[in-house]
Amino acid sequence: MTIGIGLLGLGTVGAGVAAILARPEGRHPLVGELTLRRVAVRDLARPRPVPLAPELLSTDAEAVVDDPAVDIVVEVMGGLEPARTLILRAIAAGKPVVTANKAVIARYGEEIAAAAAARGVYVLIEAAVGGGIPIIEPLKQSLGGNRIQRVSGIINGTTNYILSRMADEGAAYAEVLADAQRLGYAEADPAADVQGGDAADKIAILAGLAYGGPVPRAGIATEGIDRLDARDVAYADQLGFVVKLLAVAEHCGHSDDGTQQLDVRVHPTLLPRQHPLAGVHGVNNAILVEGDPVGRVMFYGPGAGAGPTASAVVADILNIAGIRQVGGADAGLDPLLAASSWRRCALIDGALSRHRNYVRLRTRDEAGVIGRIGTCFGDAGVSIQSIVQFEGSGDGAEIVVITHEVQEALFRQALAAIETLAAVESVAACLRTL
Catalytic residues: 202
Does residue 334 belong to the site contacting its own copies (CB under 8 A)? yes
Does residue 255 belong to the site contacting its own copies (CB under 8 A)? no
C-alpha span between 225 and 159 (Å, rounded): 7
User: Nearer Cβ to its own copies, position 338 or 359?
Assistant: 338
Q: Please work out the total of residues on this chain that contact its own copies, with binding judged by CB under 8 A.
A: 66
Tell which one of 3, 52, 143, 434 touches its own copies (CB under 8 A): 143
Tell me whether residue 332 is exposed, middle or buried, using C-beta atoms within 10 angstroms of its C-beta: 0 to 12, 13 to 18, 19 or more.
exposed
Does residue 27 belong to the site contacting its own copies (CB under 8 A)? yes
Does residue 240 belong to the site contacting its own copies (CB under 8 A)? no
Helix 12-22 and helix 306-327: axis angle, to 10°?
Answer: 60
Does residue 346 belong to the site contacting its own copies (CB under 8 A)? no
User: Nearer Cβ to its own copies, position 166 or 399?
Assistant: 166
Does residue 253 belong to the site contacting its own copies (CB under 8 A)? no
User: Nearer Cβ to its own copies, position 183 or 329?
Assistant: 329
What's the number of CA atoms in the CB half-sphere (13 Å) around residue 310? 19
Does residue 100 belong to the site contacting its own copies (CB under 8 A)? no
Tell which one of 42, 69, 79, 144 touches its own copies (CB under 8 A): 144
Candidates 291-299, 347-355, 357-365, 383-391 — which segment interacts with its own copies by CB under 8 A? 291-299
Q: Is the peptide bond before 134 cis (omega within 30 degrees of 0)?
A: no
C-alpha span between 132 and 304 (Å, rounded): 7
Tell which one of 96, 197, 291, 396 touches its own copies (CB under 8 A): 291
In DSSP notation, 181-249 reads HHHTSS-SS-HHHHTSHHHHHHHHHHHHHHHTS---GGG-EE--STT--HHHHHHHHHTTEEEEEEEEE
Does residue 3 belong to the site contacting its own copies (CB under 8 A)? no
Beta carbons of 344 and 260 less than 8 angstroms apart? yes
Q: How would you label 210-245 residue by residue, b for 16+ Cβ within 10 Å and e otherwise?
A: bbbbbbebebbbbbbbbebebbbbebbeebebbbbb
Q: How far is the CB of 410 from its own copies (least distance, A)?
A: 29
Q: How far is the CB of 288 from its own copies (least distance, A)?
A: 9
Candidates 53-61, 103-111, 143-151, 199-207 — which segment interacts with its own copies by CB under 8 A? 143-151
Tell me whether residue 27 is exposed, middle or buried, using C-beta atoms within 10 angstroms of its C-beta: 0 to 12, 13 to 18, 19 or more.
middle
C-alpha span between 373 and 350 (Å, rounded): 24
User: Nearer Cβ to its own copies, position 106 or 317?
Assistant: 317
| Residue at 346: amino acid letter | A
Tell which one of 105, 239, 310, 380 touches its own copies (CB under 8 A): 310
User: Nearer Cβ to its own copies, position 276 or 374?
Assistant: 276
172: helix, strand or coil: coil
Does residue 312 belong to the site contacting its own copies (CB under 8 A)? yes
Does residue 315 belong to the site contacting its own copies (CB under 8 A)? yes
Tell which one of 183, 326, 329, 367 touches its own copies (CB under 8 A): 326
Q: Is the peptide bond before 214 cis (omega within 30 degrees of 0)?
A: no
| 127 Cβ contact list (under 8 Å, min separation 6) | 13, 76, 98, 99, 100, 309, 310, 312, 313, 316
Tell which one of 76, 306, 397, 431 touches its own copies (CB under 8 A): 306
Candidates 37-45, 235-243, 293-301, 397-405 — which segment interacts with its own copies by CB under 8 A? 293-301
Q: How far is the CB of 155 from its own copies (least distance, A)?
A: 14
| 370 Cβ contact list (under 8 Å, min separation 6) | 387, 389, 399
Tell which one of 59, 238, 325, 386 touches its own copies (CB under 8 A): 325
Beta carbons of 269 and 199 less than 8 angstroms apart? no
Tell which one of 145, 184, 368, 394 touches its own copies (CB under 8 A): 145
> What is the DSSP secondary structure assignment for residue 50, as one 8-state letter?
S
Does residue 11 belong to the site contacting its own copies (CB under 8 A)? no
> What is the DSSP secondary structure assignment for residue 146, as one 8-state letter?
S
Which residues make up the interface to its own copies (CB under 8 A)?
16, 19-20, 26-31, 126, 132-134, 137-138, 141-147, 212, 274, 276, 279, 281, 291-302, 305-308, 310-315, 317-319, 322-323, 325-328, 331-337, 342
